[in-house]
């Protein structure tokens, strides 16, 4: 089966999960894996699970902060030749803090600030979404358009 891994990454409360869910709803044969599924050794376990499932679904959607560049590189290495679309979702720190509070402080504010300060932005993501400027529906449309273009070109 020819598959595609779609990685949504960015700071806490940037809108990754919302956009990833909207994209998954529009892609038959998709499956979503999130960093929230793992409590300890989050990224090593998530990366192993992606490598295990990469040939099982047409679209494997991966959702996590992946704030360290090396985690994104480890994911690329783990999936080998499986194509991967990198979607960098971001917003201002103020927006992220506000959204996190609105959703009940899912992540402690101190942790949001730490991830923000340690976030290593990508050099050349396939798609970059600034959710201070774009709503989730528009962002999902852009990502779906990129997926369609990927299959027409690839």
Residue 22, pLDDT score: 97
The share of the chain scoring above pLDDT 90, in percent, equals: 84
Give residue-wise pLDDT tens across range 41-61: 999 999 999 999 999 999 999
Residue 57, pLDDT score: 94
Rounded to two decimals, the pTM is 0.94
- 3-class state of residue 12 by DSSP: coil
Q: How many domains does the chain have?
A: 1
Give residue-wise pLDDT tens across range 90-143: 999 999 999 999 987 678 999 999 999 999 999 999 999 999 999 999 999 999
DSSP characters for 89-152? EE--HHHHHHHHHHTT-SS-HHHHHHHHHH----SS-SEEEETTTS-HHHHHHHHHHHHHHHHH
The CATH number of the domain holding residue 124 is: 3.40.50.300
Structural domain of residue 90, as residue ranges? 4-153
Q: Does residue 2 register a pLDDT over 70?
A: no
């Amino acid at each position: 089966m020819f598959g595609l891994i779609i990685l949504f990454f960015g700071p806490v409360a940037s809108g990754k999960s919302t956009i990833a869910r909207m994209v998954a709803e529009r892609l038959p044969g998709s499956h979503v894996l999130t960093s929230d599924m793992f409590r300890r050794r989050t990224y090593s376990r998530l990366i192993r699970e992606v490598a295990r499932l990469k040939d099982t679904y047409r679209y494997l959607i991966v959702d996590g902060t992946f704030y360290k560049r090396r985690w994104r590189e480890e994911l690329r290495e783990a999936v080998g030749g499986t194509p991967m679309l990198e979607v960098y979702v971001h917003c201002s720190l103020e927006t992220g803090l506000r959204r996190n509070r609105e959703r009940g402080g899912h992540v402690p504010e101190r942790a949001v600030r730490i991830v923000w300060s340690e976030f290593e932005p990508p050099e050349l993501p396939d798609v970059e979404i600034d959710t201070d400027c774009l709503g989730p529906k528009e962002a999902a449309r852009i990502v779906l358009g990129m997926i369609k273009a990927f299959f027409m070109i690839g």
